[in-house]
Structure 1
Amino acid sequence: MYRQLEHQLRAMIVEGALGAGAALPPERKLALHLGISRKTVQQCYDALRRQRLISAHGRHGYIVEDGFRRIKPGMERLKGFTEEMQELGRVPSSRILERVVGEDRSIASIFGLTSTAQFLRLVRVRLGDDMPLSVEKAWYDLGVLPSLADGDLSGSIYARLAESGAPLVDCEQTIEAAWPDPRECAIFGFAEPLPCLLIKRRSYGADARMIEYVEGLFRGDAYAYRLRLRS
């Protein structure tokens, strides 16, 4: 029951029906109005709070957070997460979960390289205004830029590639629906798995050499991609 209520309130917040600063009904009042237990409402509010959609304000109850806005990025050109967040007026940041250098036969086949090719495997949580928006698993061909293996990767890797003379100029991208696993749910603050967008990208340099392969899981309640088509 609390999950049904949570889904309804989340949709109202995401779509703007409940704007930033709006006060939610007190637990007891909402429980009586809906004919459900107060504990059910408490569980719902707790789940929304963990997702940073609402915050507790003592006797003032729960308030819709300022800052949760559905992200509507364009897809008309190649850009990285950092640049995208900056264009949308958000502060980008990353948290590195895994960083490994080595061989990977399956990834090498994607790049069209031999099984002994060296890759940097990087798993990061990408945040906008401190809100976890995606979990990104990326592989980089160290034959193009060996310094990625031990350099500072807290910022934009796309910018670093460009500064090193190996900018990404082209990519192939697919988008499909996916479910987050338990670790990803914990990162996003989901009380239960919610639909997400799995974006797979193969990015190439000016010489058509593949430099990057990424699988990014983006929270579905925060993203609505925009694409303009012309005849």
Structure 2
Amino acid sequence: PIETVLQMPSPAESAAEEKKQKPPHLQPPPYVHHFDTYSLVQDLEKGNFKYGQSVELMKAMRSILAENLGVARDGLVSKSNVENETYLFRAACSELKTEIQNNRKGEMEKMRAQRTQLQHEVDILTQKMTQGIQSMKDDLKGLFDDRKMNVKMEQRTMESRIQELNYKITVTLNSDARSDVESMRWVLTRRAALALVIVALAVLGTLRYTAYMTQMQEEERKKLAQSH
């Protein structure tokens, strides 16, 4: 009933009584009304709600409001906590930034050292390659000169062999020609001697035949002369 509600003690009196009954560390916080419950009940009754319904609606609204306020209070953070969290966050960010800068600086130094080492190795390899190319050029030049000299020596040897072969061929041809000439001379001499012998025999035969014919003519003349 409304009389019971009106006769409810104030939050201060309820807190004082509870403090007397409970130890200090178990005393709950004082009950606080966040709105005028009596005026709300009267307004609900004016809105065609019964008294019991108005009281229950008021209690329900008070419970919902208290629950929402508790949730909001639990979710809220005090200014000091926010400042502490902000300070810690900024300190962590500053520390992280410093660490990142140090790591980046260390990585840059490491990369610079690696680049210097790589450049040094590249210079060494370039120098070795240049020396190798120069040595290869010298070797190739030496091989080319040796080959050129060998070719000249082979050419000279070939020319000397050709000259020697020409000399041998010339000597052989001369000796063969001389032998052929001697053979031809001997053959011609024999043939000339044989021809002279034949001519001499022919001349002798002719002379004998002429003498014989002359003798025969003389005998015929003698016979003719004797017959006359």
Shorter-chain TM band: under 0.3
* Larger of the two Rg values belongs to structure: 2
Higher helix share goes to which structure? 2
TM-score under structure 1 normalisation?
Answer: 0.17
Does 1 or 2 have the higher relative contact order (CA < 8 Å, sep 6+)? 1
